[in-house]
Every structure is written in C-alpha cells, then in structure tokens.
Chain A
C-alpha cells in the first residue's frame, strides 16, 4: 500500500493499514482533514439549499415554489412555503451553516490538515481523539438532519433558540425537533472540544526544532488561538443547551419565569459562547488569508508580531463583548454601555490586521492566482463587514437596526464575504497538497468572479432593507405598508441569491473533474516557504522522512541574495553583507 514504485524511506511507517483504518476510521490527521472537508461541503450545500427556500418566499411571498409541488403537503401546501416551514428554514440554515459548514470547514479541515504539516510534526498529539472528533460529527449531523423529518418538524426558534420559545413546545408545536437540536449540539460540542484539546497540545508540544512561537505561520497561530477560544466557550454552550433540554424533557424551569427561571439567562449563556464563536469563525480565516497574501504578494507579512498580538487581543476582548447582542433585551442600560465600550475597542485590532494586509501588498509583486483572488476578496469584504459592525456597536443606532436586515447583511459580510472566501482561498491553495492534483485555474477564476459579483448583489442590498426597517425572520414583509415599497429589492436579492448558488456548481465541477483527471501537482506549486510544501503531494503517513529543522520565520519571500524569491523554512537564509539585516 505504499506509493507506487518508490522506495520506502527508513523513517516513515510502512503503510500496511487495512482500507478501513486508512480511509474510514483513520487516525491520520490528513485523512481526517479531508473527511471533514467533504462532510462540511455537504452541509454547506444543505445550508445553501435551505437559503434558496428562504429567498423564494421573501422574493415571491405566497407563490408556489418551483418544484415545490414535490414537497409534502404539510411542509409546503400547494407548493407554497408555510410560515412554519419558513421559520424552520431560517433556523436550520443558520444552524447548519454555523455549526456544520463554516466552523468544521475552518477548524476541522484546516486545523487538522495544516497544523502538523506546518509545524513539522508526524501527526497530532492524540490521533485517536482526533478520529473521535470527526466521528462524533457524524451522529451530531445525523441527529440535526433527522430533526428536519420528525413529527412536529425541526426547531423553529432561530439558530439562537431563544427561550422560552424554544423550551416550551406549546408555543410552537415543535417537540422532538428541538430536542434533537439540543442533543446534536451537545455532541457537536464534544467533537469540537476533542479537536481543540488536540490542536492546543500539538502546537505546544510537537513543533519541530527551530519552530519557535514567533516563527509559526499566522494560520497556525490563528488556529491555536481559535482552539483556546473553543475550549473556553463551547462548554458554556453545552451547559446552556443541556439545561434547555431538561426544560423540555424533564420539566425543569431554568428559563421559565413562572417558576423562578430567567429567559435572559439563556441569552447571556448563549452569547457568552456565541460571540467568541464569531471569532472562532473569523480568526482561522484571517490566518489562512495572511499566509496566502504573503505568498501572493511575494513579501513577508507586514508587522508579523503585531498580527499575532492583534489576534490575541481579539480573542481576549471577544469574551467581554457578548452583551452587544443584548442591547435591546431588557438588560440594564448601564451594563449595555460597558459592552458598547468593549465592542468599540475590539474594532482596533481588527483595523490593525486590515492595514497590515495592505502593508503586505505595498511594494509587492502580486500574483493573481485563484487563492490570492479569494484572499483579496476576504480583505475587501471584511472591511465592509467590520465597518457595518460599528453601527451596531453604537447603542442608540443599534436600537433602530437591531433585529433588521442590516444585521443579516453584516453577519453575511463577515461569514460569507469573510470566512467563506477565506475557506475558498484555502481550498484552492492547499488542494494540490491534499490530493496531489492541481485545480483548474481558469475554472477557479470563473468561480471566483461569479461568486464575488453575485455575493455582493445578494447581500449588499440587505443593508438598505435593514435601514428601511425590514425585520429579520419575518415570513412575509408585504404585511407591512412601510415595507411594501422595498419589495423590488427583495426580488432582486432573490434572483441574485439563486445565481450565487448556481455559481458554486463551477467549483463543484472543478473539484470533481480535477479528482477524476486533473493535472498532477508539483510538490510546491505556489513557491511557498511552509514546511508542508517540502514533502510529497499528498504527504505520506507520518509526513516527514526525518524531523525537519526550521531556520527562520514563515514568510521569507523575495529575500535579497536568495537564489529564488522564496526561502523554505527548512533552509537557512542566505548570508547577508554586514549592515543589511
């Protein structure tokens, strides 16, 4: 089962594991990363399909969906989305996208695949825990998917499942669906924790000789900090969800005021997790993009050390801003003021990062590869998402835009314009390493251009809807006279969203075609400095023939006097004349 015809180096293990241990119940971090990739791409598709249902109803309220006649009468009577189905779509779109698509794409895929390869380790510190972290995602995903089909339907309480709407079946008619949601999230939390323990331990203990903390690529820094965030935030979610589950099943009243419970307690606990979660979803994206921008600009990252400290700052502040989701919740207004200040302050490290990316491009030699284009899209879209966040941070302005489409626009500028473009950048960048085949650059650029255009046409107009006062999560905006004039915007968004969805077929086709008969990838197609590019594509079990030694930082591009415009981290920098460095 070794690579065809090549001599097996003494140090790597002879890979004679049976198929099931090699590709199914694998403990190899690379296989686990690839498993996460396909699982989360599947859920990305599911989440996207649900979004299409939401958009149909908002664009054409009360009209029969195309193919809607195929759906059961109880879901879409006469092909028309029912109010219950609509809120179910909204709830499950958010749930699938956050927990089963974007988070595992960033953390499950890139943390697993990249950390050991980038720090020069043969595998994770706890390979078996790592296998568990993937295989727990299967029952978690199955339970969540099953909740769509059970009697009473899926949860209809929004992805934030605010109590008492979520914990009292009488208010929605949903029993089992919400319980399955809770169970699924608890298992998801376990998976996330097992992964995080592993990433933290691996980065601390398994760095190759010479790989000091401040020689770590920013992607590894970001994934490490993210794991710390997850390990502190996810248990709070799990605890809150377990209490919610008890409220539904065994008659406790943690969130019911009639018997001493507190609806606001759910909101505090949820957002104590939920806001760090936002940074769990953006920090790895920042790390990936930093690696790719340095590579694409052929320059070291501008201000590497401040980039690291900015991420640490964001992570720390990320734990004391949760109250900004609750400015209008009935929380004490003075407490809201404190959260406003912390929220405003967290914009500073985010701004530092943007300026440092610009500084990296300055006087570079920019190669517009597909990964680079997606990374640049991340930067330009994150600027919009970051700036729109300032409106919400200001408590009086938030009073008007809270709970409107302005928020929906903001979250999609950060999560799609931000995280998803970074994920695409990462997939295009590391695909050749993962599969040994090079994705088609032309198809990649077509996919990028279509996605970038239709993404903006879909989400930018949502700012206008929000300023016009359109609420989120409403089934039919035309119920309100003041919203009726904006209905053409909703139609426009819906058409754009359909085209955005269709544009993703280009990427799916590119992946399928490349896997089937793609061009064989070079060991280091992007001329990058990272350790992962010093081993074959795909790397063998155990990664490195001999433990590599690291001589310098991760972004030594265009070093004066070097033979090429990059110096791999396992090769010393060229000697420089006195006074130059």
Chain B
C-alpha cells in the first residue's frame, strides 16, 4: 500500500519534502486549533434557555493579534521557500559542469537528445532516445527543453520535479539523481487525447552501467570515450 510520496531520488527532493512537512505541521496545528475552537464554541454557546447572546461588536486587540501572528508565520514561509526555489529553477545558478541533454516533447512522446561521447549537444555524435532518459547517479544534468506542438509538463514524481515545456521557448531544468533505479515520468499538463499515456521512464545508472548501456546501444567506440570523458567528476562538459 503506497499512499504517500514516492521515495525521493533527487538532490532537491529531500529539501522539497522537508519544506512540505514544515508547512504540513504548521497548517495541521492551525487546522486542529481552529476547528477545535469552532466545535467548542458550537457546543458551549448553543442556544439554551435562560442564557442570551452577549452583544459584543469586536475587539481591536484580538484582531491585531490574529492579524499579526498569521502574517509573521506566512512571510517566514515565503522567506524559507525562496532560496530553495532559486536553486531549483534559476538557470544562472546551475552547475557549470553539468551535462546538457536535449528534450523535445510532442504529443504523447518525449524525445531526448544525448550529447554523445564528446559531452556536447548540437554536433554529429548526438543520439536520440524516445521516452527514456538515461542518467548517471550523482551527476549534474541540465535538460534543455522545448515542445513541438502544445504545452506539456515534465513530471518526475520521485525527483519532485516539474517543469512545463512550451512551444517557442527554451527552458532549462537542473536534475541530479541521487539513487539508481528506474523511475516513471508523466506529462502533467493536459496536452490532448493521449495525455494520460504520455509516460516515460528515467533510468539512473552507476557510471559502469551507463557505459555498458552505451555499448548495448551499438555505440561501442562512443561508449569508450564516454566513459573516459564523462567521469562522475563531470569533466565531460565544457
């Protein structure tokens, strides 16, 4: 029975989860407190013979208190959220040595372009894969994303990552997988009749497995140079 977040597998997922739990505990406490107060008032101040309502019109002090407290809590939440957000989405802060992978979404398919042995996108040794993203664990990647037809949204639940792909826009997203395994990806922006089956998988390899995978792709020579060029220290990218 798995009725909660899928297990985290990315560098940012743990922080997103922590922030979620902070908000859950705060809102949970407020929820219990406020609903309990409501229930107590409903029982205690229900109509009873011999007791009448008290003609109270308000209290400035009470109102200042219950304006200020939520304001402080909420602004703090915004301040706490901000640095994590910039880290995830602001492409200026992405690691310089990240491997760039291309992604073009079209109706119900994800087309990934791998940089090939030289680690650079946009030249002759690039190769493409449909609906499968192969990554090496603990390595930084930047997806260069666009869409061919309509708006799609890349959603990798185990990575806690989501980013829309918009036709005519070049959008970048940083990914750093922290756990090997196979994880599902989905489209989370309604993109047409086949939206529900726009499914893909992310396969996160150890460096050795990745090299083996490259070999199995019939690119043996490419794999050699890839294993040499794309060490986990990320020297492969310029």
Known: A87-B190, A165-B192, A394-B19. A304 touches B58 (CB 8 A): yes
Q: Please tell me if the beta carbons of A164 and B149 are within 8 angstroms of each other in the complex.
A: yes
In whole Å, how far is A404's beta carbon from the nearest beta carbon of chain B? 7
Q: Please tell me if the beta carbons of A348 and B71 are within 8 angstroms of each other in the complex.
A: yes
Q: Please tell me if the beta carbons of B55 and A399 are within 8 angstroms of each other in the complex.
A: no
The stretch of B2-10, B95-103, B204-212, B222-230 that contacts the partner chain: B2-10
| A273-304 contact mask (Cβ, 8 Å, vs B): 1 or 0 | 00000000000000000000000011110111
| A349-368 contact mask (Cβ, 8 Å, vs B): 1 or 0 | 00110111011011111111
* Bound CA span A163–B191, Å: 10
Q: Select A258's contact among B75, B155, B168, B199, beta carbons within 8 Å.
A: B168
Q: Select B188's contact among A164, A263, A404, beta carbons within 8 Å.
A: A404
Chain A hits for B151, CB < 8 A: 162, 164-165, 263, 329
Q: Please tell me if the beta carbons of B38 and A402 are within 8 angstroms of each other in the complex.
A: no
**A264 on the interface (CB 8 Å rule)?**
yes
**A18 on the interface (CB 8 Å rule)?**
no
Q: Please tell me if the beta carbons of B78 and A340 are within 8 angstroms of each other in the complex.
A: yes
Best-buried of A368, A391, A403 by chain B (most CB within 10 Å): A403
Q: Select A397's contact among B16, B31, B191, beta carbons within 8 Å.
A: B16
Q: Please tell me if the beta carbons of B52 and A485 are within 8 angstroms of each other in the complex.
A: no
Q: Please tell me if the beta carbons of B31 and A384 are within 8 angstroms of each other in the complex.
A: yes
Q: Please tell me if the beta carbons of B194 and A394 are within 8 angstroms of each other in the complex.
A: no
* Bound CA span A475–B196, Å: 6
**B54 on the interface (CB 8 Å rule)?**
yes
* Bound CA span A83–B198, Å: 13
Chain B hits for A257, CB < 8 A: 166-169
Chain A hits for B56, CB < 8 A: 299-300, 302, 359, 362-363
Known: A352-B63, A467-B4, A468-B4. A397 touches B168 (CB 8 A): no
Q: Please tell me if the beta carbons of B168 and A157 are within 8 angstroms of each other in the complex.
A: no
In whole Å, how far is A198's beta carbon from the nearest beta carbon of chain B? 32
* Bound CA span A472–B62, Å: 41
* Bound CA span A172–B195, Å: 11
* Bound CA span A138–B75, Å: 46
Q: Please tell me if the beta carbons of B88 and A359 are within 8 angstroms of each other in the complex.
A: no
| B57-69 contact mask (Cβ, 8 Å, vs A): 1 or 0 | 1110011001100
Q: Please tell me if the beta carbons of B196 and A474 are within 8 angstroms of each other in the complex.
A: yes
Q: Please tell me if the beta carbons of A479 and B196 are within 8 angstroms of each other in the complex.
A: yes
Chain B, Cβ-Cβ closest to A88:
B193
Chain A, Cβ-Cβ closest to B16:
A396
Number of interface residues of B (CB under 8 A): 86
Chain B, Cβ-Cβ closest to A368:
B46
How many A-B contacts are there with CB distance less than 8 Å? 291
* Bound CA span A558–B86, Å: 55
**B107 on the interface (CB 8 Å rule)?**
yes
**A557 on the interface (CB 8 Å rule)?**
yes
Q: Please tell me if the beta carbons of B55 and A558 are within 8 angstroms of each other in the complex.
A: yes
Chain B, Cβ-Cβ closest to A302:
B58
Q: Please tell me if the beta carbons of B188 and A480 are within 8 angstroms of each other in the complex.
A: no
Q: Select B19's contact among A344, A368, A396, beta carbons within 8 Å.
A: A396
Q: Please tell me if the beta carbons of B47 and A367 are within 8 angstroms of each other in the complex.
A: yes
* Bound CA span A48–B28, Å: 31
**B180 on the interface (CB 8 Å rule)?**
no
Q: Please tell me if the beta carbons of A402 and B77 are within 8 angstroms of each other in the complex.
A: no
Known: A299-B54, A306-B58, A368-B46. A482 touches B66 (CB 8 A): no
* Bound CA span A374–B128, Å: 58
**B216 on the interface (CB 8 Å rule)?**
no
Chain B hits for A481, CB < 8 A: 184
Chain B hits for A489, CB < 8 A: 3
**A500 on the interface (CB 8 Å rule)?**
no
Known: A263-B166, A297-B53, A471-B155. A376 touches B45 (CB 8 A): no
Give the secondary structure class of B's interface: mixed
Chain B hits for A78, CB < 8 A: none
Chain B hits for A393, CB < 8 A: 77-78
**A72 on the interface (CB 8 Å rule)?**
no
Chain A hits for B20, CB < 8 A: 391, 397, 400
**B85 on the interface (CB 8 Å rule)?**
yes
Q: Please tell me if the beta carbons of A402 and B78 are within 8 angstroms of each other in the complex.
A: no
Q: Select A394's contact among B4, B23, B186, beta carbons within 8 Å.
A: B23
Interface residues of A in 330-346 (CB under 8 A from B): 330, 333-334, 336-337, 340-341, 344-345
Chain A hits for B57, CB < 8 A: 300, 302-304
Chain A interface extent, by class? 35 or more
| A155-178 contact mask (Cβ, 8 Å, vs B): 1 or 0 | 011100010110010011100000
* Bound CA span A297–B54, Å: 10
Chain A hits for B31, CB < 8 A: 383-384, 387
**A486 on the interface (CB 8 Å rule)?**
yes
Chain A hits for B166, CB < 8 A: 257, 263-264, 329-330
Q: Please tell me if the beta carbons of B30 and A364 are within 8 angstroms of each other in the complex.
A: no
Known: A162-B189, A390-B74. A473 touches B168 (CB 8 A): no
Best-buried of A157, A464, A469, A565 by chain B (most CB within 10 Å): A469
**B162 on the interface (CB 8 Å rule)?**
yes
Q: Please tell me if the beta carbons of A482 and B157 are within 8 angstroms of each other in the complex.
A: yes
Q: 9 nearest interchain CB pairs? A: A257-B168, A469-B157, A403-B188, A333-B89, A303-B58, A474-B196, A475-B196, A558-B53, A298-B53
Please give the residue numbers on chain A whose beta carbons come within 8 Å of chain B beta carbons, in ascending order.
83-84, 87, 156-158, 162, 164-165, 168, 171-173, 256-258, 261-264, 297-300, 302-306, 328-330, 333-334, 336-337, 340-341, 344-345, 347-348, 351-352, 354-356, 358-359, 361-368, 376, 379-380, 383-384, 387-388, 390-391, 393-397, 399-400, 402-404, 464, 467-469, 471-477, 479-482, 485-486, 489, 557-560, 565
Please give the residue numbers on chain B whose beta carbons come within 8 Å of chain A beta carbons, in ascending order.
1-6, 12, 15-16, 19-20, 23-24, 27, 30-31, 34-35, 37-38, 41-42, 45-48, 51-59, 62-63, 66-67, 70-71, 74-75, 77-78, 81-82, 84-86, 88-90, 107, 149-151, 153, 155, 157-158, 160-169, 171, 184, 186-197, 199
A-B contact pairs, 25 of them (CB 8 A): A256-B167, A302-B59, A306-B63, A328-B163, A330-B163, A355-B66, A364-B41, A365-B45, A366-B41, A368-B47, A380-B35, A380-B38, A384-B31, A394-B78, A403-B162, A467-B5, A471-B186, A472-B188, A474-B195, A479-B196, A480-B199, A557-B53, A557-B55, A558-B55, A559-B55
14 new A-B contacts at CB < 8 Å, known A84-B193, A344-B74, A383-B34: A256-B167, A263-B167, A328-B153, A336-B85, A337-B82, A345-B75, A352-B67, A356-B58, A359-B62, A365-B45, A380-B35, A383-B35, A384-B31, A485-B3
